[in-house]
Amino acid sequence: MQALLADAAARAHRYLADIEARSVAPSPAALAALAAFDTPLPAGPGAPADTLRLLDELGSPATTGMAGPRFFGFVIGGALPAALAANWLATAWDQNAALHRPTPSAAFIEQVALRWLLDILHLPPTCGGAFVTGATVANLTALAAARHSVLARAGWNVEADGLFGAPPITVVVGGEIHPSVSKSLGILGLGRSRVVKIPVDAQGRMIPEKIPVLSGPTIICAQAGNVNTGAIDPLGEICRIAHAAGAWVHVDGAFGLWAAAAPSRAHLAAGISDADSWATDAHKWLNVPYDSGLAFVRDPHALQAAMAITAEYLPTQSEFRNPSDFTPELSRRARGVDIWAALHSLGRSGIAHMIESNCTQARRFADQLAAAGFEILNDVVLNQVLVSFGDAARTQRVIAAIQADGTCWAGITVWQGRTAMRISVSSWRTNEADVDASVAAMIRVARATP
């Protein structure tokens, strides 16, 4: 075991040391070599060292350099050193971190991490929290609490009786709702399409004046951090309108919630603490390893009512917080450990610095690309930049050529009818030299692409 784990650590270290110099996209040869995995199931046991060697020799070269400093696709954080190391240790613990009594260490560390998260994100300290797989499940979890609460107030127990015959719930969303929120609404029986869609402005922000008169059980789904522009809905105004009508406000803040942790960006998220529930990712801007998301709910009882279960064989009775009382999962890894480690290692100022650096780097991208004559389609307020290289076909060709060049990686999107390259700066590893090298490659490739 010792030699095997030392070998794994050495291979992982080599992978991360090489990542700055290698092509961000895997080479066609590395992709072709994956076919060597496709053997018949081994007839019996082999040496674990051979299993690891095969994984590293075939698997590592065919990865995309998401852990490196010049991956700007989707919204992808790297893994902070302390978070990665903590993740390894917690994996060795192999705790089923559902309940406090059998896994006191994992459960207690998670509870401390929750307190720190609420502090750094300026959310009410008494919120309930769920450590889940990602923002999709965090949205689902928080919206289940919302569904519980608005129906309980109408005299209906949705966990016991389901939605058949329940009072109808009005769901209000912005025109730029992320599909993971729509999916959550679908899973919860509230409908992906059975929503009132509110028009948005040029940056994708919900226009609060367009919210209709609200009555009866109502949930408003707002957004902090549009996946294309980074824009944050006017949350204070949305909460004011909603709460005057007794509606619940949920904020999908997969990455944008972290604006609240950075003094220079916090004004963008003004009013965020007035909402009733929030979803965010830790594997995005907190830079912990995949997968890791968070749901926070102002009324912890609503979250617990939606999620907690009991069974004769489960030691659920505890004076301490049981993690799985707040999550869709029962069996679960000790996700709070990586998060605790990230927060402990960076502290308040380190987190603020990471968020602010990425925002400054996004601005640097936008300024240099604009100076080179390319059009920036969004107001660069956070960590997202949208670039056009001309018409849709040319922009597509340039993006494909940038990805193939391998200096950096950025993806494609369509923003309000315009095809664009999305640059999302979300990694602790990225520095100004990475931005400059990436911009130089983008300009060189764009000028060489017809």
Residues with Cβ within 8 Å of 435's Cβ and at least 6 positions away in sequence, in order, are 361, 364, 365, 368, 425
CA 20/CA 406 separation, integer angstroms:
11
Decide whether 26 or 225 has the Cβ nearer to ligand PLP: 225
Count of beta carbons in the 10 Å neighbourhood of residue 127: 22
Q: How far is the CB of 63 from ligand PLP (least distance, A)?
A: 18
Structure tokens, 150? 């608005």
Residues in contact with ligand PLP, shown as a per-residue x/- string from 214 to 233 under the rule CB under 6 A: -----------x-x------
- Per CB under 6 A, contacts with ligand PLP among 271-290 are 281
Q: How far is the CB of 138 from ligand PLP (least distance, A)?
A: 7
Pairing of strands 293-297, 384-388: unpaired
Decide whether 74 or 88 has the Cβ nearer to ligand PLP: 74
Q: Is 335 in the site for ligand PLP (CB under 6 A)?
A: no
Pairing of strands 170-174, 218-223: parallel
Q: Is 75 in the site for ligand PLP (CB under 6 A)?
A: yes
Decide whether 180 or 358 has the Cβ nearer to ligand PLP: 180
Listed residue (321, 306, 325, 229) closest to 268, CA to CA: 229
Decide whether 250 or 321 has the Cβ nearer to ligand PLP: 250
Decide whether 98 or 222 has the Cβ nearer to ligand PLP: 222
Q: Which residues, listed in sequence order, are joined to residue 289 by a DSSP beta bridge?
A: none
Q: How far is the CB of 418 from ligand PLP (least distance, A)?
A: 19
Residue-by-residue DSSP string for 373-426:
TPEE-S---SSEEEEE-SSHHHHHHHHHHHHHH-S-B-EEEEETTEEEEEEE--
Q: How far is the CB of 227 from ligand PLP (least distance, A)?
A: 4
CA 243/CA 117 separation, integer angstroms:
25
> Which range of residues in 131-139, 213-221, 401-409, 433-441 is near ligand PLP by CB under 6 A?
131-139
- Kind and range of the H or E element at 298? none
Q: How far is the CB of 52 from ligand PLP (least distance, A)?
A: 28
> Which range of residues in 18-26, 83-91, 117-125, 129-137 is near ligand PLP by CB under 6 A?
129-137
Residue showing the smallest CB distance to ligand PLP in the complex: 134
Q: Are 76 and 311 in contact (CB under 8 A)?
A: no
CA 197/CA 207 separation, integer angstroms:
11
For residues 152, 156, 157, 162, the Cα torsion angle rounded to the nearest 10 degrees is -130
HSE-up (13 A, CA, CB side) for residue 434: 25
Decide whether 74 or 93 has the Cβ nearer to ligand PLP: 74
List C-alpha distances in Å: 29 to 39, 62, 280, 412. 19, 9, 37, 24
Residues in contact with ligand PLP, shown as a per-residue x/- string from 163 to 202 under the rule CB under 6 A: ---------------x-x----------------------
> Which range of residues in 14-22, 120-128, 248-256, 297-305 is near ligand PLP by CB under 6 A?
248-256
Q: How far is the CB of 448 from ligand PLP (least distance, A)?
A: 31
The binder of ligand PLP chosen from 87, 103, 136, 419 (CB under 6 A)? 136
Decide whether 65 or 225 has the Cβ nearer to ligand PLP: 225
CA 139/CA 206 separation, integer angstroms:
18
Q: Is 149 in the site for ligand PLP (CB under 6 A)?
A: no
Listed residue (3, 8, 27) closest to 405, CA to CA: 27
The binder of ligand PLP chosen from 252, 274, 299, 434 (CB under 6 A)? 252
> Which range of residues in 6-14, 252-260, 262-270, 352-360 is near ligand PLP by CB under 6 A?
252-260
Q: Is 322 in the site for ligand PLP (CB under 6 A)?
A: no
Q: Is 134 in the site for ligand PLP (CB under 6 A)?
A: yes
Q: How far is the CB of 408 from ligand PLP (least distance, A)?
A: 19
CA 438/CA 424 separation, integer angstroms:
12
Residues in contact with ligand PLP, shown as a per-residue x/- string from 337 to 376 under the rule CB under 6 A: ----------------------------------------
> Sign of the CA dihedral 347, 358, 134, 58?
negative
Listed residue (437, 265, 273, 253) closest to 354, CA to CA: 265
Amino acid at 71: F
Cis peptide before 325 (omega within 30 of 0): no
Q: Could you list the residues that contact ligand PLP (CB under 6 A)? A: 74-75, 134-136, 178, 180, 225, 227, 252, 254-255, 281, 293
